[in-house]
Amino acid sequence: MAHQEMKAAEETYAGFIGLLKIGSIITAIVTIGVVLLIAS
């Protein structure tokens, strides 16, 4: 039972880290775009 819970937790964590990476990249792109708009 504990093994199944750990597997589920690892899958959840992997999904969270994946979303965090994608979110960080999107945030960086948007930030660069806004800075370029303000600078021009």
The two tokens of residue 32 are 């660069």
Query: Confidence class of residue 3 from pLDDT cuts 50, 70 and 90?
Result: confident
- Whether the predicted pLDDT of 1 surpasses 80: no
Query: Confidence class of residue 20 from pLDDT cuts 50, 70 and 90?
Result: very high
Q: Is 40 helix (H, G, I), strand (E, B) or coil?
A: coil
Q: Is 31 helix (H, G, I), strand (E, B) or coil?
A: helix
Give the list of residues 6+ apart from residue 3 with CB closer than 8 angstroms, or none. none
Q: What is the pLDDT of residue 4?
A: 87
Segment 1-23 mean pLDDT: 92
Q: What is the pLDDT of residue 35?
A: 98
- Whether the predicted pLDDT of 15 surpasses 90: yes
The CA distance from 14 to 39, in Å, is 38
